[in-house]
Amino acid sequence: MSAMTRSAVPALPTIAITMGDPAGIGPEIIMKALARPDVHALCNPLVVGDAARLRRAAAITGVTLPVVALEDATEARFPQKAVQCLDLKVTPEDLPFGQVSAAGGEAAYRCVEKAAALVLSGVVQAICTAPLNKEALHAAGHKFPGHTELLAHLTGTPEVSMMLTSPKLRVIHVTTHIGLLDAIEKIEPGLVERVITRGHDVLVKAGIANPKIGVCAINPHAGENGLFGRGEEAVKITPAVAACRAKGWDVHGPLPADTLFFLAGRGDYDLVVAMYHDQGHGPIKVLGLEAGVNVTVGLPVIRTSVDHGTAFDIAGTGVADERSLIEALRQAVDLAPR
C-alpha cells in the first residue's frame, strides 16, 4: 500500500449493516461501533434499518453521532460524521427492548431482505448482520433457522456453509441448526466434500494459496477403528477427504476433534471442518464472543455477522459490547470485491 499513489488507492467498499431484531442489542452495538473513526476509515457503512430506533439506541449508549434517514441507498454520502441509515420504518415506536415479538422478527426480516437486494444490485459490496432472534422471526411467519438459511433463500442459493472465524481459529460446519441425531444422519461424503471445497475456495481467494485443512471426526478418538460409533468416519468422511486430497489439496482427517482444535489453535491448520453445530461453535466461543465472526460461505454475496445473539437480557441498557461487530466489518471489508 505504501508504494501506491494516492489516486491508485481503491475506494472504500460500502457495507450494508442490517439492524437485526430491534428489541435486541443490534441498534446499540451499531451506534457504538459507528461512533469510532477507525470504522469509517475501514469502510463506508450503510445501516439498513430504522432511523428512529438507532436514535433511541444512541441516547441509551451516550453516542452523539447524528443519524441521517435516507429513502434510497443511493442518497448516502461518505464520508460524513453521521450514521447513514436506509430508513425502512419497520419498528413500532413503542416496541420494548428485551422481548420476543412478531414485530421484531418482521423488522429483522425486512432489513435482511433489503440488504440482499442492495448487494445483488451492486449498490453495496457486502452485508454485515446484527443479530436476529429465531423465535421472533418464526412468529412473524418466516420459518428460517437463521440468517444463513434466510440469505440462501433470498439469493436463490441451494447450499451454503457457516464459517466462524477468530484471530486464532477458523471453523466451517458441515451441519448447523439441526438436532444431533439428524446431523449425523445428514452427513454424507458428497456434502462433506462440498463443504471442504467451499472452505478451501474462500481461503484461496483470501490469499492463502494452499490452505491446510483438518476435518473433524464424528465420534470420540475418530472412532478408534470402529471401537466407538458405528463406522461413521469410514463411511461418511474418509471418502470426501480422499477426493479432496486427489485434487492436490492439503486436507487431513477424519481427526479426533479435541486434538484437532488444539493443533489448529496453535496455528498448525488454516481451517477446521466441524461436523455439527456445537462441535465447531464451542471452541470458537471459548476464545471470546467479542472476537468471533460468522461468515456465510457459498453465497453470491459476502456476508459476515457477529458471533452472538440478540442478548435480550441486556438490550436497552447500553452495556453491549460492539467489538464482534467491528471484527465482522473488518472481515466483510477483507472479502468484499473491489
Q: What pLDDT is recorded for position 204?
A: 87
Do 1-160+299-338 and 168-286 come out as alike in CATH topology?
A: yes
Distance CA 164, CA 201 (A): 15
Least reliable range by pLDDT among 92-106, 118-132, 173-187, 293-307:
293-307
Residue 4 scores a pLDDT above 70: no
CATH entry 3.60.70.12 includes domain 168-286: no
From the list 286, 190, 189, 196, the residue with the least C-alpha distance to 237 is 189
pLDDT one-digit tens code per residue, 138-151: 999 999 988 888 99
**pLDDT band at 177, cuts 50/70/90?**
confident
337 — pLDDT class (breaks 50, 70, 90): low
Domain boundaries, the chain: 1-160+299-338, 168-286
CATH superfamily of 1-160+299-338: Isopropylmalate Dehydrogenase (3.40.718.10)
Residue that the C-alpha cell 467479542 belongs to: 290
> Residues 93-113: pLDDT tens digits?
999 999 999 999 999 999 999
The pTM (predicted TM-score) of the whole model is 0.80
What pLDDT does residue 7 have?
35
User: In this model, does residue 288 exceed pLDDT 80?
Assistant: no
Question: How confident is residue 205, by pLDDT bands cut at 50, 70 and 90?
Answer: confident
Tens-place pLDDT, residues 121-171: 999 999 999 999 999 999 999 999 888 889 999 999 999 999 998 888 999
pLDDT category of residue 289 using cuts at 50, 70 and 90:
low
Q: For the residues 198-202, what does the mean pLDDT come to? A: 91
Query: Over the stretch 67-98, which tens digit does the pLDDT of each residue have?
Result: 999 999 999 999 888 999 999 999 999 999 99
Asked whether the predicted pLDDT for residue 286 surpasses 90, the reply is no
pLDDT band at 47 (very low <50, low <70, confident <90, very high): very high
* 338 — pLDDT class (breaks 50, 70, 90): low
Pairwise CA distance, residues 174 & 164, whole Å = 12
Q: Which of 91, 69, 68, 15 is nearest to 46 (CA)?
A: 15
Q: Does 5 score more than 80 pLDDT?
A: no
Interval 226-273: pLDDT, tens: 889 899 999 999 999 999 999 999 999 999 999 999 999 999 999 999
Residue 11: predicted pLDDT: 81
Instruction: Give residue 291's pLDDT.
Output: 67
**What is the pLDDT, as a whole number, of residue 41?**
93
pLDDT of residue 1: 32
